Structure 1
Amino acid sequence: MNYWIIAYIMGWVLNFEGAFLLLPAVTAFVYGEKEGFAFLICSLISFAAGGLIVLKKPSNKRFYAREGFVICSMTWIVISLVGAIPFVITGVLPNYIDALFEIVSGFTTTGSSVITDLTPVPHCVLLWRSFSHWIGGMGVLVFILAVLPLFGGVDMHLMRAESPGPSVGKLVPNVKKTASYLYKIYLGMTVVQFVILLLSGMNLFDSICITFGTAGTGGFGIHNDSCLGYTMPQQTIIAVFMLLFGINFNVYFLLVRKKVKEIFNIEEVKWYLIIVFGAVTAIVLNWGRLDNLYYSIHHAFFSVASVITTTGYGTVDFNLWPMFSKFVLVMIMFIGACAGSTGGGMKVSRILIYVKTVKKEIEGMIHQKSIKVLKMDGKIVEHSVIRNANVYLVSYLMIMAVSLLIVALDNFDFETSFTAVAATFNNIGPGLGKVGPTGNFSEFSNLSKLVLTFDMLAGRLEIFPMLLLFSRATWSRK
């Protein structure tokens, strides 16, 4: 284990977080809020600590996958530990565990909250919550790779550790250029949504915060009613962009490169849209009002877009829907968005791999002498990818089970406990019961909040980077 290279990159992570913390500090200055000093102090501390660490480059630049996974996990832990401090200093969340839960929920683009009333919360804190979604949406390390030259070909270990999905590749031969392309697309789509919301009549502050939350598929609202108070056209804009940010960014890269024909060969995107259409149709038929079909389709579409992309914005309390409609939402809650997007969940590509694997095994039982291969987008899926997906599923179920056992100690009803774990582990935000669209996570014990905080990090980082921290082999010097 090369500890010096890990410390060096952590130093740059602190420097970047120091820069990020300046935005809410400026916001506080604009609105005349004294709470801005909390962000300014944390920014200076981050710059000071980070600056000292990066003064000397490590002489040993050996860098392997093990270091990549550790750096990925430590990056998200460090930015969360520092990012939670302003909540405590400002008094918005005096309990540090609550503050940590809130900021991890922000960075992991989960959107679960322990704040019971947003009305007295200062603009700078609201912006920091929403901005944390945007920072975490594409990934902190991907951002660093886009702007900071590291050491030769080791960058790919970082991108592979942080990128969501069963596998990750380079859009172009150079990793730095790949990261740069991703952030240019991400930034471009963010600006487009922001401008459209402004043109729709939404005020400047709301447009910025809602865009940050949509782009990162995070879902922190800045009003107690989430997105209910916006006009239906504004809600439609938000829903459409939630779906767009839930699509694999390779699609937008192909669009920029004018390779439209290749897009139609991407199975994951086709099934992603089919699942959305099917879920909306099922909910409208079950819950919809025939006397106001537009109302039913609109809110069903918004809710499905919000849940499948794991954003978490709300326009209605789907906690009051019939059981079938709620079950549909729980199903797509687990499926999630596309790999290579800012969305969470298990990812549509993994579900496709599982379905195709079952189909292949069944056909193999019937035609035992035939040789079947698993294909995605016309290409053979490597055995390592299938094995990784299977191990992911086992790890996923084990963490779910253990988390449920611990959270159950709080003695809430099954619906609340189960969906609380599912909503945090899949980075969705709201669940059902006490953690539904009109509820929050404030009633859970500190132990449960720490478990759910771990679940948010594990869900965002695809489990393995977090589990590796608990392996003795990870920390050996060999």
Structure 2
Amino acid sequence: MNKKMISFVIGKILILEAGLMLLPLIISFLYKEDILHKMSYGIVILLLLAVGFLMSIKVPADKNIQGREGFVIVSLSWIFMSAFGALPFVISKEIPSFVDAFFEVVSGFTTTGSSIIPDLTKISHSNLFWRSFTHFVGGMGVLVLALAILPKYSPTSVYVMKAEVPGPTFGKIVSKLSSTARVLYKIYTVMTIVLIILLLFGGLNLFEASLLAFGTAGTGGFGVRNGSILPYHSAYIDVVLSIGMLVFGVNFNVYYFILIGKVKEALNNEELKYYLLIVFISIALIVANISKSYSSILHCIRDVLFSVSSVMTTTGYSTADFGKWPLFSQVILLILMFFGACAGSTAGGLKISRVILMIKIHFAEIRQMISPNRVISISYEDKPVSLKMQKSIAVYFVVYAIVFMAMLLLISFSTDDFLTAFSAVAATFNNIGPGLGKVGPAYSFANLNDFSKVVLSFAMLAGRLEIFPMLILFSPLTWKLK
């Protein structure tokens, strides 16, 4: 275990976070907030710089980062960033409880969107900006940003990116890893700016347009007003955000191939086809189920499009309280919570590619049982899927189910409402935001006890980092082996 390199990289990450916190500090000056809010960011920036420099002042002689170090670096970076990121809320006394503030910031960085704040009107502009900006940073990945800005860690830092980028596989789109990170962030940033401009055309001011764009780009879903998107009463904003969420739920490699002229290759993407097909079928089924309760079919389609886009991409924005929809529609949305969007996007969930592969593996196993002597091969994107990949997919689903049930059991200690407990775990583990029952779109997670909030904070981190980095971090074997 290269502990010195782990400490060095985390130190650099904390210095990077200090730089990111300059933005909410500037916001506090622009909106002429009181000295406490300015101090809350100033103090934390100084603290981050001090700790960061102490951890990274000496460059390790051995710069190698292998798989184990990559997982540990990613896990600890997200935990440390969330812990320090929570401090401005505590110091400014807008979220006095550190557990609550940690939950809120973990929700931000993991682009979950679950919140413990019942009334956003009591939150300052600087803190509103910071909680939404964490969506933007966490959407593409904290370490991906670090590799894009500070690429000189190690020739083996690919293990870091593999541990953080969501999906069953990771591949560089250009020859150098740092160049891959920069390309992804350029595409991500330009798309976010375009979304901000589109929202400005909808009559929003720059502050609200930026925060809603951060939440959409990172598929996080922190709102600026109470009631999420509903208070805007704008069909234009609903449609822009619906399309925006779906767009950011696509694998960013698709956009890269389009940029370099490989449009046919980009659009002939198996995961993309299934992603759009599932969205279309879900919208059609829910509209058919709830259309009678709407006076306007267009309004119904708009609400369903928004809700499906939000849940499928694990964003968490809402224009309607789908907790009041018929059970059939709620079950569809619950299934979409688990599916998630595409691998290599900013969305959470299992990922469409992983679900597709698991279904193919199951059908292949059935065919093998029917014809034991037949050689059954599985292909994805017109390429054969190796036995190693098949095993990896199967193991992930088993571990996912075990961890999910363990967290559900822990949450059940503090609530006797199964729907609330189940959907709270589903919403946080899949990085969605609102669940159903008492954690639905019309409620918050504020009424849960501290133990449940800590468990769900772990769920958000495990879900965003695809479970194994967090399990490896807390495994005693990780630290015993040299």
TM surpasses 0.5: yes
- Asked if 1 retains the 8 angstrom alpha-carbon contact of 2:64 and 2:155, the reply is no
1:76-87 aligned within 5 A: 76-87=78-89
1:406 to 400, 405, 410: 410
Deviation of the 1:365 alpha carbon: 2.2
Match of 1:280 in 2: 283
Match of 1:332 in 2: 336
1:245 to 234, 248, 256: 248
Match of 2:65 in 1: 63
Match of 1:31 in 2: 31
1:288 is paired with a residue whose SS is helix
Counterpart code for 1:5 = M
Deviation of the 1:261 alpha carbon: 1.0
Match of 2:467 in 1: 463
The farther-off stretch of 394-403 and 134-143 is: 394-403
Deviation of the 1:173 alpha carbon: 1.7
Match of 1:7 in 2: 7
1:291-330 aligned within 5 A: 291-330=295-334
Q: After superposition, what is the alpha-carbon deviation per residue over 1:251-286, rounded to whole angstroms, capped at 9, x for unaligned?
A: 001101110111232111100000000111111000
Q: Percent identity?
A: 48
1:202 to 188, 201, 204: 204
2:429 to 425, 429, 432: 425
TM-score after normalising by structure 2: 0.98
Q: After superposition, what is the alpha-carbon deviation per residue over 1:230-263, rounded to whole angstroms, capped at 9, x for unaligned?
A: 2111111011010000000110011011101112
Match of 2:391 in 1: 387
* 1:97 counterpart = 2:108: no
What do you get for the CA RMSD once the two structures are aligned? 1.1
Deviation of the 1:8 alpha carbon: 0.3
- Asked if 1 retains the 8 angstrom alpha-carbon contact of 2:254 and 2:267, the reply is no
Q: After superposition, what is the alpha-carbon deviation per residue over 1:272-328, rounded to whole angstroms, capped at 9, x for unaligned?
A: 000000111111000113641101100000000000000000001111100000011
Distance between the aligned counterparts of 2:429 and 2:110, measured in 1? 10
Unaligned runs of 5+ in 2: none
TM-score after normalising by structure 1: 0.98
Distance between the aligned counterparts of 2:372 and 2:278, measured in 1? 33
Distance between the aligned counterparts of 2:113 and 2:333, measured in 1? 16
Counterpart code for 2:285 = A
- Asked if 1 retains the 8 angstrom alpha-carbon contact of 2:323 and 2:440, the reply is yes
The farther-off stretch of 336-345 and 394-403 is: 394-403
Distance between the aligned counterparts of 2:154 and 2:90, measured in 1? 40
Counterpart code for 1:437 = P
Distance between the aligned counterparts of 1:173 and 1:359, measured in 2? 36
2:146 to 144, 155, 158: 144
Match of 2:356 in 1: 352
Deviation of the 1:411 alpha carbon: 2.5
Match of 2:161 in 1: 159
Runs (4+) off by over 3 Å:
none
